[in-house]
Chain A
Amino acid sequence: MSFAAKPLVAGDLFEASARLSTEIDQEVARLAEPAERIAVLRRRWDEIAALGWPATVVPEEFGGAGGGLLDLAALVEGAGRAALPLPLASVCGAVPALLGAAFVNAGEGGAALAREALTGVAEGRLRICPVLALATQGGAEGRADREGRPPLAARPGSGDDGAAALVLDGAVLGVEAPPEPTHYLLACPVHPAVGQEQSAALVLLPADAPGLAARWHERIDGRPAVDLDLRSVPVPVGQVLARGEAVRERVASVSDAGALLVCVEAVSAMGALLEQTIAYLSTRVQFGVPLASFQALRHRVAEMYVAYRSLRALVGRTLRRATEDGATAPPWREVALAKLRLGGVGRFMAEAAIQLHGGMGMTQELAAARLAKRILMAEFEYGDTDHQARRLLAAAR
């Protein structure tokens, strides 16, 4: 085999992440029951916290490493190589970025809580699950419950000292989460909106807040996911980190950064998937010859490769634009185009790899099959294909 995928962000962080992810993927793949797998992930998360990955972009003044988007990209690119069933982009990327919104316009209480939370994240004590439940964010998370519960929203509380500033009601489904989160960091609309300031809120809730019910699932890529159902959950003023436009703007840039990281991770998974598919076809013998000698299969692989190379280039370009000097937020249109293309290419790559592995492609024990499922799931994260298409079309009007 002469093909070896080239990382976009090579280096120690990428290598370390790829190594640990492979270890975790292999350990989890042997276990039959979702509960056993979640237990392993919970233990492994402490290892990840000890390595300081959740502190990657936490500012140094809060005990973090003060890194940036490129460091996160290196981490998720390593994770992509082995379909790591843990939410690095969300927990290491979105959480610190969202907490940072508290310093823009929060009251003293919010800023103090954000400082405390960032420190806790940096120390590895807190496992915070971000919940982006604003309609503008799209994707799996902001979706309304089809089972009779309204989508998550806040309404103003009585507001005085000691009483609730906001009251939360409603549900969010299938939120990607770290195992056993200590907190939920929720961005949601406020109804009825009382002026711009009141249109959205960012709230930090302890996982054991009264009135908050969680139901756990495992996603197709093996990551833990949670349905949250909140019934009249009071939020004291000190737990409201930010309000209004600042929340929406922050969520928009966090979503774009998240979508970009998902692209980086998925491209990495596609590279590994191609390597494994080529290796399989080169060794598997049928009719007395390696499968790699059949033109129909060779051409399918060539098509995968072309799709992979052009997506990789597009994502590399977008990452460069997002991290070049003077860049403040990821370039949304390029991110949307990359994510849009990821949808189509990802589906094609995953299906082709499963097909090319024959019966083996249908087995959970095959690493390539797990990569394929990770790639399929990536389409729905941080704004699915439909969401990206809608905003691109709306901007063209």
Chain B
Amino acid sequence: MTEARATTAGEAAEYEAFRAEVRDFALSHCPPELRAMVAAYRKLERRELETWQRILYRRGWGAPNWPKEYGGTGWDLRRRVIFEEVMAECDCPPQPHQGLRHIGPVLIEFGTPEQKARFLPRILSGDDYWCQGYSEPGAGSDLASLKTRAVRDGDFYVVDGQKIWTSGAHEADMMFALVRTSTEARKQDGITMLLIPMDSPGIRVRPIRTIDAWHPHVNEVFLDGVRVPVANRIGEEGKGWRYAKFLLDRERLGPVHALAPGLRFLERARDLVARELSGVADTRKRELLELRLLMAEAEILGLRELGEEAIDDLMHGRPLGTAPSVLKLGWSEASQGITEAAFDAAGGRLAARFLPVEGSGPNAGAPEGIEWIHNFLYFRARSIFGGSSEIQKNLIARDLFGA
């Protein structure tokens, strides 16, 4: 037999009913102006994310991945993925994932009762917006080399150092950060996880101007004698690497979520190609680009199937193996391929008219289709963040060669 999806007909019908319920809600409750922004790939600010998060929260869907006792939905993995797919298909803004997907599960697993009571409800409701203070100028792929120091001073840690590539730091209330509390033989030891209010004295956020011109998005965060209460430490001092690993393991299905908007993205690129190259003289070029998009579609269909298999494996307690790396690599490549086709279709017309000299913001009065120039540039980051393609290949090779 072929590997069957482990659902009975009854279960399948339940999942389909769930899909319909989510779709109904998304279409009737997500504000049209938000959906239009998402559809046009406009840069979303905290305000937009927050608006939608509050609506979901009121519906009881604030935290699809949390257990019920903390106000989550308690959904199984398949429901969570269906939810993501429908959200993408309906052009709903993403949920603030740093709080919900990253620090939330860590707090639930390792947080003190006080930390849970203080932070979780505000993540759920959309009141608090979090950012992740991991990477440093000298610690990118080699994260354990981080140097930001935290020195104990009574009931406080005094933190000095610099974080970089911190998404959303410019609009965040809180940052969960990895800091060095001691220098051990093994660099993974001596790392501690702290929860730092972003309005603490001594914090300075400087936006990084990125090639896609979608800034501010990522930032540098300078920490200069920042006093953080010991009560804001996750778990034990020196065990921060363990909590960060826990977070990564929980996020192993991240690539499946990332894949959810894949087909929609592809369709939009197809529309662009058809629009940009509608003339008779463009037929050859249009067909070439359409062919490349067909190739991308084939890859996406394969990756979605792999994603389904991975969900199945997780739900049945089987190890995921290389699947997350394969999905991450595959989707980076396929999505970059889509943006390249779009760039080929529209680049000649639009790359020269990237930013208006007058007006405000990168999208103000911009020519139609300009988002694909931003997309093309922004998507270069897909193969860099969250474990670069080179790191993923190292992981796969280690598994394949057994060393």
Contacts and interface: CB of A to CB of B under 8 A. Distances in A.
A169 to B, nearest CB: 34
A348 B294 CA distance: 18
Contact of A310 (B4, B270, B290, B326): B326
Contacts of A70: 1-2
Interface string B367-403: 0000000000000000000000010111011011111
Interface in A258-303: 274, 278, 281-282, 292, 295, 298-299, 301-303
Interface of A: 1-3, 8-11, 70, 274, 278, 281-282, 292, 295, 298-299, 301-303, 305-306, 309-314, 316-317, 319-320, 323, 334, 337-338, 340-341, 344, 389, 392-393, 396
A305 B2 contact: no
A10 B399 CA distance: 23
B298 to A, nearest CB: 4
Nearest to B294: A392
Q: Is the interface of A mostly helix, strand, loop or mixed?
A: helix
A301 B397 contact: yes
A313 B306 contact: yes
A341 B302 contact: yes
Given A302-B396, A340-B294, A9 B1 contact: yes
Contacts of B322: 305, 309
A389 B291 contact: yes
Nearest to B395: A302
Interface in B278-314: 287, 290-291, 294-295, 297-299, 301-303, 305-306, 309
B397 A298 contact: yes
B401 A2 contact: yes
B71 to A, nearest CB: 35
A264 B394 CA distance: 28
Given A2-B402, A340-B298, A396-B290, A316 B397 contact: no
A310 B323 CA distance: 10
Contact of A8 (B3, B287, B291, B297): B3
B400 A301 contact: yes
Given A298-B393, A323-B2, A310 B401 contact: no
B81 interface: no
Contacts of A393: 287, 290-291, 294
Contacts of A3: 399-400
A388 B20 CA distance: 34
Given A313-B309, A316-B3, A319-B2, A306 B402 contact: no
Chain B CB within 10 A, most for which of A274, A314, A316: A314
A309 B3 contact: no
A337 B329 contact: no
B329 A314 contact: no
Contacts of B262: none
A356 B1 CA distance: 34
A309 B306 contact: yes
A367 to B, nearest CB: 19
A2 B298 CA distance: 28
Contacts of A281: 401
Contact of B301 (A10, A292, A334): A334
Interface residues of B, number: 34
B2 A310 contact: no
Contacts of A10: 1
A292 B399 CA distance: 12
Contacts of B4: 320
A320 B7 CA distance: 14
B302 A299 contact: no
A309 B400 CA distance: 13
B173 to A, nearest CB: 39
Contacts of B295: 340-341, 344
A306 B383 CA distance: 14
Contacts of B270: 396
A1 B402 contact: yes
Contact of B400 (A278, A295, A338, A340): A278
A281 B402 CA distance: 12
Interface of B: 1-4, 270, 287, 290-291, 294-295, 297-299, 301-303, 305-306, 309, 322, 326, 329-330, 390, 392-394, 396-397, 399-403
B402 A337 contact: no
Nearest to A313: B305
A337 B401 contact: no
6 contacts: A70-B2, A298-B401, A306-B326, A313-B303, A314-B298, A316-B305
A1 B402 CA distance: 6
A11 B1 CA distance: 8
A302 B394 CA distance: 8
B3 A337 contact: no
A301 B398 CA distance: 11
Contacts of A298: 393-394, 397, 401
A306 B330 contact: yes
A281 B401 CA distance: 9
B309 to A, nearest CB: 7
Given A2-B399, A2-B402, A9-B2, A306 B329 contact: yes
Nearest to A396: B290
B204 to A, nearest CB: 38
B302 A305 contact: no
Contacts of B305: 313-314, 316-317
A393 B401 CA distance: 40
A2 B4 CA distance: 25
Given A2-B401, A306-B396, A337-B294, A8 B303 contact: no
Contacts of A316: 2-3, 305
A68 to B, nearest CB: 12
A70 B397 CA distance: 32
Contact of B401 (A11, A282, A306): A282
Nearest to A299: B393
For the complex of A and B, list the 6 residue pairs with the smallest distance between their C-beta atoms, beginning with the closest.
A314-B302, A310-B302, A298-B397, A313-B305, A302-B393, A341-B298
Nearest to B270: A396
Contact of B2 (A1, A8, A311, A314): A8
Contacts of B326: 305-306, 309-310
A3 B396 CA distance: 11
B154 to A, nearest CB: 48
Contacts of B290: 393, 396
Nearest to B330: A310
Contact of B299 (A8, A282, A292, A341): A341
Contacts of B1: 9-11, 70
B292 to A, nearest CB: 10
A307 B299 CA distance: 9
Contacts of A319: 2
B79 to A, nearest CB: 21
Contacts of B303: 310, 313
A174 B390 CA distance: 43
Contacts of A292: 401, 403
B309 A2 contact: no
Contacts of A2: 399-402
Contacts of B394: 295, 298-299, 302
